[in-house]
Amino acid sequence: MFRSFIAAALTAAASLAAAPALAQEAFKIGNLSPLSGPAAAFGIGINRGIELAAEDVGTFTVAGRQYKLELAPYDTSLDPGKTVAALNRAVLNDNVKYGFILGAAVHGAVLPIVRQTGFFDIFMGAAGREITNAENPTVFRFMASSDQLYYTFTPEIYRKLGIKRVAFLGPNNDLGRSDVRTLKDVAARLKGEGVEFVGEELVEINAKDFQAALLRLLARNPDAIDTNASPTGTVGLIAKQARELGYKGHFISSTAVLEAKALVSIAGAGADNIVAYRIWSNPPTKLYQEIAERHEKKYKEATLGTVWEAYAATRWVVEAVVKAGSFDTRRVAEQLAGSTFQFHPYGPASWGGTKSHGARRQIQTPLPASIIKGGKWEPLDVRMGTLE
């Protein structure tokens, strides 16, 4: 009995030791994102997007050797200090040269290291050219930027819905503040059409009670309240409390990924007339639908908002690595910037931003606008412009 146990253990150990020799080498993609704390849903969504992509990529060949994708997660809690620590560990200790880094707020701290080490930063976050630009050749933004969405979408939406008086309610963080600046600029450009920016309220990041801030805004009779920098739960609470105070107008979120079900569960009928730019009321592609189904089956949860973009980013970067025939991040960056991609769940993807950001580092994909009517997302028929 004992002897056979030893034998079994030895066999197992031997097979484990032999395994690396047989298997492919690992190509590690890091995920330096909040995996804990209030923003964890974004980071966990990226983990899953990478995992789903790894299933589809399988093994691939670079310079004659076989590789397999591997996820290397690092929890940053969206804290700049922790993100620096995570990046140090990834680059210096774990030999991770490619990775997602979530959040514009942490980039002030990580960009010097990214520039110094040539880390390939698959950037997920808002804000504009201060992050993707010619000085940071290995930083690519794989989701729509705030300025991109505001400048290309917002004017059309205002015209379509007849919005003239716009107010902003958001968190007092860098995202909220940069969105207010952009929104004011958009409103100023539309002055000829009678659009006016009527007021802003910046609140504590974790606030849940917006009644006082809303009262101040409602005193100025807005047609639309921009809630861009807030996540689903917060937008739902803002909508609920604004309706309770008698507000009848629209709410607009450009970059946030909102869930209709949660919004309706919080705000009830008050969720109607919430507008969001990145929500697909109907699946845009078969792949989109397929990923949602696979996600629900594998993780037993509604698909998190960042899954699709993380999936596409992972596959696209691997494709660029294979085409470049090298893991050198600068060569891969050049290869990637010149490429287009057919397997993005949102539709055909390419790179833009040469003029506005000074570098082709901003993803361009088809994007929808949707509005909640009767508790469900419905498509809002507007055409999005392109970012030069």
Partner 1 sequence: MTVARVAALLLALIVLPFVATPYALHVAIVVLFNVTYTAALYAVLRMGYLSLGHAGFIALGAYTCVILSVRLGVSPWLGIPAGGLVAGLFAWGLGALTLRLRGIYFALAIFAFGEIVTAFFRAFDWFGGPAGIPGVPRPAFLGTPLASHFAFYWPVLVVAVLGIAILYRLQYTRFGAALLTLKTAESERLAESVGIPAARYKTANFVVSCVITGTMGTLHAQYLLFVNPQVFGSTMSTDLLIYAMVGGLAGFWGPILGAGLLTALGEQLFSVGYWKTLVYAAILMVVIMVLPGGLADLPRRLRAHFGAPR
Partner 2 sequence: MTPLLLAQGLAIGLVNGALYILTALGLTLIYGILHIVNFAHGEIYMLGAMAVYVFFVVLQWPLGAALAAIVLLAALLGLAIERGVFRNLRGQWMQLLVASVGISLIIQSLSWIAFGAQEKNVPSVLPGVVALAGVRVPIERLAAAGVALVLVAALYWVVYRTRTGLAMRAIEEDEETARMLGVNADRVAAVAVALGFILAGLGGAFVAPIYSLNPGMGLEAILMSFIIIIIGGLGSITGTVLAGLAIGVLQSIGALALGAEAAHVLVFAAMIAVLILRPQGLLGRG
Binding site for partner 1 (CB under 8 A): 35-36, 40, 72-75, 79-81, 84-86, 88-89, 92-93, 105, 108-109, 111-113, 116, 172-174, 176-177
Shortest Å distance, C-beta 262 to partner 2:
6
348 binds, among partner 1, partner 2, none (CB under 5 to 8 A by kind): none
Alpha-carbon distance of 27 to 386, in angstroms, equals: 34
Residues at the interface with partner 2 (CB under 8 A): 36-38, 40-41, 44, 172, 201-204, 206-213, 215-216, 219, 231-234, 236-237, 244-246, 262, 265-266, 268, 301-302, 304
Q: Which of 315, 337, 313, 332 is nearest to 97 (CA)?
A: 332
The CA distances from residue 16 to 13, 27, 94, 293, 328, in Å, are 5, 20, 21, 34, 31
Q: Which of 343, 298, 292 is nearest to 318 (CA)?
A: 343
Alpha-carbon distance of 125 to 143, in angstroms, equals: 7
Interhelix angle 286-299/307-324, nearest 10 degrees: 110
Q: In what order do the strands lie in the sheet with 350-352?
A: 59-62, 65-75, 25-33, 98-102, 120-124, 139-141, 362-364, 350-352
244 binds, among partner 1, partner 2, none (CB under 5 to 8 A by kind): partner 2
Shortest Å distance, C-beta 206 to partner 1:
12
Cβ nearer to partner 2, comparing 51 with 201 = 201
Cβ nearer to partner 2, comparing 242 with 387 = 242
Shortest Å distance, C-beta 229 to partner 1:
11
337 binds, among partner 2, partner 1, none (CB under 5 to 8 A by kind): none
262 binds, among partner 2, partner 1, none (CB under 5 to 8 A by kind): partner 2
CB atoms within 10 A of CB 113: 17
What is the radius of gyration, based on Cα positions, of the chain? 23
Cβ nearer to partner 2, comparing 36 with 66 = 36
